[in-house]
Amino acid sequence: MSHQRTLQAAAACEGIGLHTGQTVRMCLRPAAANFGVAFKRIDLPASPIIEANPANIVDAHHATTIGKGGVKVRTIEHLMAAFAGMGLDNVLVELNGEEVPIMDGSAAPFVELIKKAGLRRQMVPRTYLKIKERLVVEADRRSIQIVPSERLQVIYTMRFDHPLLGEQSAAFDISKETFISEIASCRTFGFVKDVEELRRRNFALGGSFDNAVVIGEGGVLNGDLRFRDELVRHKVLDLLGDLYLLGRPVLGTVIAHSAGHLLHTRLVQEIQRQLDIQHAAPARNGVIERWARPLLQPERSLKVAPS
């Protein structure tokens, strides 16, 4: 995992936006080493580009939105999670609308798209962010923290205000394999009472039984869950997508309690703030280190097979 990767070829899909209800065509294109992840609004004059980075986060209510110069791209988190989970460093995302298609509400369709395009190794080392000291963000009774560890781990607990759900926890050692088999297919979810409220306020215009787990008073209204704890696993998926706004993999253990995009993105901004402080004063012994390779996960294979 120590070299950067991009796509072998372009790959496209089309779908409805969860919040806008608009049909959007999305094309993932290969990009040069050190390019990172960026979104291009090809429906607008001059096709503006918005880089996926902490400085461009403009909203994190309900979903993660980035923007620059008044131009936005909404609901990027599931696609970003697929990039993080598949180890895709450099990609240009072209969209002919404002929102990433919601597809089935999970990251699985994006994983399939990346597999279809194939991955290609680039001759530039990937850097990692290794957390050296604990960072905490809290609000009300919700919290998220990251503590030092040699690999990325997530421990996520959600307390749901619903008699059938109660508390759910999930803990994962994040690797490409775990991401694909345990996390990628977990769908976003909504409670009937909230969905009605969101619709009244024109959020979730594209929400339907096809792109979210919908929960009523008596339980799930649209079929079986993909995992018994699919809801909290989806929160892990959201977190991985938001963390990837840092532009490189993070080595640390994230512990989240009833968090969401707002706290995820505040943690991301705090990590970036620490990096900026260190950059401004290089002699300072900072709380984050940049590593050209992870301590564990040594490189074994030279090839990435599009499986």
- The amino acid occupying position 39 is F
CB of 222 to Zn ion, least distance (A): 16
Residue count at the site for Zn ion (CB under 5 A)?
2
∠ CA 183-100-221 to the nearest 5 degrees? 55
- Is 65 an interacting residue with respect to Zn ion (CB under 5 A)? no
CB of 212 to Zn ion, least distance (A): 9
Cα dihedral 264/265/266/268 (nearest 10): 90
* CB of 107 or CB of 287, closer to Zn ion: 107
Report the SS3 class of residue 181: helix
CB of 187 to Zn ion, least distance (A): 8
* CB of 126 or CB of 233, closer to Zn ion: 233
Footprint of Zn ion on 188-207 (CB under 5 A): 188
CB of 75 to Zn ion, least distance (A): 8
Instruction: Single out the segment in contact with Zn ion by CB under 5 A; choices: 33-41, 217-225, 235-243, 283-291.
Output: 235-243
- Please name the helix (run of DSSP H) or strand (run of DSSP E) that holds residue 26, with its range, or none: strand 23-30
Written as one string, the DSSP assignment of 63-132 is: S-EEEETTEEEB--HHHHHHHHHHT--BEEEEESSSB---TTSSSHHHHHHHHHH-EEEEEEE--EEEE-
* CB of 188 or CB of 274, closer to Zn ion: 188
Footprint of Zn ion on 244-263 (CB under 5 A): none
* CB of 98 or CB of 238, closer to Zn ion: 238
CB of 135 to Zn ion, least distance (A): 23
Phi/psi at 168 (5° precision): -130, 140
* CB of 87 or CB of 260, closer to Zn ion: 260
Q: How many residues appear in the chain? A: 307
CB of 206 to Zn ion, least distance (A): 14
Question: Within 10 Å of residue 135's Cβ, how many Cβ atoms?
Answer: 19
One symbol per residue from 151 to 190: x for binding Zn ion (CB under 5 A), - otherwise; what is it? -------------------------------------x--
* CB of 89 or CB of 238, closer to Zn ion: 238
Instruction: Report how far residue 228's alpha carbon sits from residue 116's, in angstroms, rounded to the nearest whole number.
Output: 29
Instruction: Report how far residue 222's alpha carbon sits from residue 208's, in angstroms, rounded to the nearest whole number.
Output: 10
- Is 242 an interacting residue with respect to Zn ion (CB under 5 A)? no
Report the SS3 class of residue 170: strand
Instruction: Report how far residue 157's alpha carbon sits from residue 178's, in angstroms, rounded to the nearest whole number.
Output: 18
Q: Please confirm, yes or no, whether 19 is among the known catalytic residues.
A: no
Catalytic member of 78, 261, 264, 279: 261
How large is the angle between the packed helices 77-86 and 230-243, nearest 10 degrees? 80
Report the SS3 class of residue 236: helix
Longest dimension (CA), the chain: 58
- Is 238 an interacting residue with respect to Zn ion (CB under 5 A)? yes
Under the rule (CB under 5 A), what is the footprint of Zn ion? Answer: 188, 238
Residue numbers annotated as active site: 261
